[in-house]
Structure formats: C-alpha cells, structure tokens
C-alpha cells in the first residue's frame, strides 16, 4: 500500500478544540518529572479503600461479575441507596440512578437539562468541570464571584436569574475552598429555585467531610433538586468510577436514557465494592482528615491569609505575591512543591489550592516549604 507523502492532517471539532487541558492534569504530568516532589495538589484521599469493599471487588471479579449491569445500576446497590435517600429527605417518590462516577452524574444531569442558549448560574471559584461542560452543551454560565468570603448570597442569586436561566449549580462542601454552605442558605437557594422554576443541582460529593457543622442537603428542602454524589471521596474509590444522582423521576429517567447512549453503566465490579463499602466504618479516616486540616491551618497561620475551611479536604490561601499562577510556578521551581493555581477554578488569579490528604511526613514538608515561600 502506498502512503501519501503528505497526508492531510485530521481536523478535530470546534467543540473539542474549545477545551483546554485541565491545570490539574498538567500537575499529574509534572509529578513524573520531579525526583522528590511535595505533592499537595491532587484531590484524592490518602487512606486506603476499606477492606470490606476490596474483598467484595475481588470476590465479584472471581465470580465472573465483569459484564454490563442494568443502565440504572445493580438493583442491590441502587435500591439500597434509593431507600436511604428517601428516608433521609422524607421524599418517597425521589428516584436514583447509579452513574459512572460523580463526574458522570454531572454530565448526565446537564445533558438532561440544558439546551443551547440556556443559562446556568455557577459560583466561582468552582470545580474545574462546571463551566466547560455547560459551554460544551451550548449553554452559558452566569458566574457569581464569591470572593473574598466564599459565601453564597441568595439575593445576589435571585438578581442573576433571567428568563433563560435553567439551573443553579453549587457544591458543598466546596472544591476548592472547603467552604460548607449553611443550612439556611441551602434552604433559601432551594426555595428560590422552586419559586422561579429553576432546577437546583447540588454537588454533594464531599458531604461526609463536614467538620464544624452538620451537612445540609438540597434534597432536605426541595423535591425538585437534583443531587450528585458518589463513593470516590468518602471511601477512597476514585478509580472505580461509581457515583449516583437522585431527584425527580422525570429527570432521573432522562439521565438513565442518556447513560444508555454514553457511559452505558458504571463498572460492575466497582458497584459490588460500593455496596460493601456502605457497611464499612469510615469514622477513623475522616477524623484523621480533620486532624490534618487543623494541623495545616495551625502551621500556616500568620504566614498566609485564608478563610478557614469547614469541610472537604482543601485549603485555599491567597497567593503572597498576588498571583496564584506565579506562586504555583515559583513553588515548583524553588521547593518542588506542587499546588494548583486558582485560575483552574475561575478567572481570578489570586489564590491557590492545597490538598491535605497526604501523609504527615508530606504535610510537614509542605508546611515548611510554604513558610519559606511566604517570606
């Protein structure tokens, strides 16, 4: 076969070209080039997946449970989660679907709700996927900047709603700030969304990481809210890709149909592991995470300005020289310290994100390096 000397280069779609590589993924690449990095960048638990879940995964694999499941998930897992959700929020009609990770749940929810030209209100700093996914679907993000307190003002949200607003998307506890939205604010958002005919999408992946106050779910205050959740952070199952969403039946059924044509289903072995994980006691690793938060806050007090996080496992300090991006570059160059600049989470270049789910030895090295960088 003769190959043309100068074959035409393939052309990717404008949709694909509009995406930039995630700043967090670039950190993954950078890690491999450093001999002994201090890695406070990646948001994943440092404790092991619970033994009961690992054993269940092994047993499922050996038993040949490696094929597709029903699109909406294993009945044993879905029905148990659905029963727990209905009891917790007092909504016997609330419906649930198992998804391919919580990111998969986010993709499906937005696909089910957003048409080209629709508006979605988001709060920056925000999880890296929110804006690109809305724009991928032809929607428009209406951004509310929550700095410097990172608190959500329901009156500001009300003023941002227009005839094109289709959804309000928020995350509590928040990635990257660690802020926990108070119950009265969650209630106000839920009531506002219901009153204005807007769908409230609540990303609750970090709900078990609430250190100073009880967690409040959007489903506690609205039967129309769509909730995203999963096992990645709560049970250190980031690689197994098992999440879920719950909400009104018509939205969840639409998401289930869309999953048939996209992800097909969550991995079966991961679903069996997740079912076992529900019976595992996670109180000790979660308490350890709170201890590490307190250690990091105490170590950086007086050296950096930050709002103390009430949840998740992140700290979001102000960059001492004003630019989070410049600080992240200097941290790598001078200390082999990996952090994530705030530009990954929004347009403001003022902060950087630290993840403290690392070993105590790594955290100590990080605190020492950060103190040196602050002077």
Ordered strands of the 352-355 beta sheet: 314-315, 352-355, 340-341
pLDDT score at 111:
97
- In b/e form, how buried is each residue of 43-75, taking b as 16+ CB within 10 angstroms? bebbeebbebbbebbeebeeeebeeebebbbbe
Pairing of strands 337-338, 38-39: parallel
pLDDT score at 363:
98
Domain boundaries of the chain, sorted by first residue: 14-42+282-374, 51-277
Instruction: Chunk the chain into consecutive blocks of 10 residues (it has 375) and report each block's average pLDDT, rounded to whole numbers.
Output: 67 78 60 82 93 97 96 97 97 97 97 98 96 95 97 98 98 98 98 98 97 96 97 96 97 98 96 98 96 98 97 97 94 95 95 97 98 93
Rounded Cα distance between 59 and 273, Å, is 9
Fold assignment, 51-277: 3.40.640
pLDDT score at 5:
65
Fold agreement (14-42+282-374, 51-277): no
pLDDT score at 24:
56
CATH 3.90.1150.10 is held by the domain 14-42+282-374: yes
Rounded Cα distance between 256 and 67, Å, is 18
pTM (2 decimals)? 0.93
pLDDT score at 22:
55
Non-local CB neighbours of 282 within 8 Å, separated by 6+ positions: 50, 208, 234, 235
Please compute Rg for the chain using Cα positions.
21
Nearest to 96 by CA among 114, 130, 71: 71
């Amino acid at each position: 076969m003769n190959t043309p000397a100068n074959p035409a280069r393939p052309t990717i779609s404008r949709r694909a070209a509009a995406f930039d590589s995630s700043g967090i993924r670039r950190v993954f690449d950078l890690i491999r080039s450093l001999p002994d990095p201090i890695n406070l960048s990646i948001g994943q638990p440092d404790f092991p997946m619970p033994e009961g879940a690992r054993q269940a995964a092994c047993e499922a694999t050996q038993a040949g449970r490696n094929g597709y499941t029903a699109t909406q998930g294993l009945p044993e897992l879905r029905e148990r989660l659905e029963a727990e959700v209905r009891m917790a929020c007092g909504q016997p009609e609330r419906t649930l679907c198992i998804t391919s990770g919580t990111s998969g749940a986010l993709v499906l929810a937005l696909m089910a709700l957003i048409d080209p030209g629709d508006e979605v209100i988001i709060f920056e700093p925000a999880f890296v996927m929110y804006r690109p996914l809305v724009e991928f679907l032809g929607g428009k993000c209406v951004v509310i900047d929550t700095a410097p307190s990172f608190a959500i003002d329901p009156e500001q949200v009300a003023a941002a709603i227009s005839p094109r607003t289709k959804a309000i998307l928020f995350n509590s506890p928040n990635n990257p700030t660690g802020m926990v939205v108070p119950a009265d604010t969650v209630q106000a958002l839920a009531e506002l969304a219901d009153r204005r005919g807007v769908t409230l999408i609540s990303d609750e992946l970090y709900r078990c990481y609430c250190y100073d106050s009880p967690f409040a779910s959007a489903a506690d205050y609205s039967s129309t809210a769509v909730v995203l959740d999963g096992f990645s952070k709560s049970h250190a199952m980031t690689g197994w890709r098992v999440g879920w969403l719950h909400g009104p039946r018509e939205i969840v059924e639409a998401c289930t149909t869309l999953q048939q044509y996209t992800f097909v289903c969550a991995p079966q072995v991961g679903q069996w592991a997740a079912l076992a994980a529900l019976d595992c006691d996670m109180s000790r690793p979660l308490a350890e995470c709170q201890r590490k938060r307190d250690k990091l806050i105490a170590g950086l007090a007086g050296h950096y300005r930050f709002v103390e996080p009430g949840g998740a496992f992140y700290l979001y300090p102000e960059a001492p020289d004003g630019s989070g991006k410049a600080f992240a570059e200097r941290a790598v160059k001078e200390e082999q310290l990996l952090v994530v600049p705030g530009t990954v989470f929004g347009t403001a270049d003022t902060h950087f994100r630290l993840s403290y789910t690392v070993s105590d030895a790594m955290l100590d090295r990080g605190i020492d390096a950060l103190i040196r960088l602050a002077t």
